[in-house]
Amino acid sequence: GQSLEQPSEVTAVEGAIVQINCTYQTSGFYGLSWYQQHDGGAPTFLSYNGLDGLEETGRFSSFLSRSDSYGYLLLQELQMKDSASYFCAPISSGSARQLTFGSGTQLTVLP
Amino acid sequence: DADVTQTPRNRITKTGKRIMLECSQTKGHDRMYWYRQDPGLGLRLIYYSFDVKDINKGEISDGYSVSRQAQAKFSLSLESAIPNQTALYFCATSAPTSGSPGELFFGEGSRLTVL
């Protein structure tokens, strides 16, 4: 079967660092993606981890541990514009390479 | 102009009506998807297509049908809309062989309300 867990809400202040955790159970796991979505907007791709370890893209980093079925998104130097929902999306293997989206984590950045 | 364009952006209709949501893309991607988003439930896959002749059901295809008219166009139809199909619908494209395997490109969404 498949399951996906991430916190529903996280609050932090401007300039801080926040980590959003994701645990998954995915048949034929291939990799893990992260997406950002502002209220009413389209989801936008942030990062992809196919291998264990840390991927860094500017202020955002994403980590994957296949053996623990765990990943996280790290946001540094938080800005007000980072207030959004963040989704982890495990990808299944096979030709379909389907992404499964969880319910997301609502991040609120306070001044 | 947006690379993935959805029309209409907003639609209010009545129970039992037929509705079509259209998606067109200029990215040249073979793969196209339709997702539904309900508050608190994230995105759920309705249908996906890997090319014009390859269409597949997602996890919540009941009550929906699709048509891939061309590589660039993928339409979602609700043959007889019902209130619990009220949601935000997203079209997406991908090209996993040329880009990141986990990267989807989403349209701006179509908000559908069924009364």
Mind listing the pLDDT tens digit for each residue in A39-66? Answer: 989 999 999 999 999 999 899 999 999 9
Whole-number Å distance between alpha carbons of B12 and A43: 23
Closest Cα to residue B92, out of B39, B41, B46?
A: B46
Identify whether the C-beta of residue A73 lies closer than 8 Å to the C-beta of residue A20. yes
Distance of CA B29 to the CA centre of its chain: 15
> B109–A42: do the CB atoms touch at under 8 Å?
yes
* Residue-level pLDDT at A98: 81
Q: How far is B57 from chain A (nearest CA, A)?
A: 11
Whole-number Å distance between alpha carbons of B22 and B114: 17
Q: How far is A97 from chain B (nearest CA, A)?
A: 8
What mean pLDDT value characterizes chain A? Answer: 93
> A32–B102: do the CB atoms touch at under 8 Å?
yes
Mind listing the pLDDT tens digit for each residue in A27-45? Answer: 889 999 999 999 989 999 9
Strand order in the sheet with A60-65: A3-5, A18-25, A70-75, A60-65, A53-57
Mind listing the pLDDT tens digit for each residue in B15-70? Answer: 999 999 999 999 999 999 999 999 877 899 999 999 999 999 998 999 999 999 99
> B103–A104: do the CB atoms touch at under 8 Å?
no
Residue A95's Cβ-count burial label (10 Å; 0-12, 13-18, 19+) is exposed
Distance of CA B15 to the CA centre of its chain: 20
Nearest to A99 among B90, B102, B107 (CB): B102
List residues bridging with A109 in a β-sheet: A12
pLDDT at residue B6 greater than cutoff 70: yes
Q: How far is B106 from chain A (nearest CA, A)?
A: 6
Residues 6+ apart with CB under 8 A from A102: A4, A5, A6, A22, A87, A88, A89, B42
**B16 and chain A: CB distance < 8 Å anywhere?**
no
> B106–A30: do the CB atoms touch at under 8 Å?
no
Q: Which of B3, B43, B50, B55 to mutate to test the interface with A (most CBs of A within 10 A)?
A: B43
Identify whether the C-beta of residue B110 lies closer than 8 Å to the C-beta of residue B10. yes
Identify whether the C-beta of residue B51 lies closer than 8 Å to the C-beta of residue B32. no
Reported as half-sphere exposure (CB side, CA atoms, 13 A), residue A55 has a value of 19
> How many CB atoms are closer than 10 A to CB A75?
22
Q: Are strands B110-114 and B10-13 parallel, antiparallel or unpaired?
A: parallel
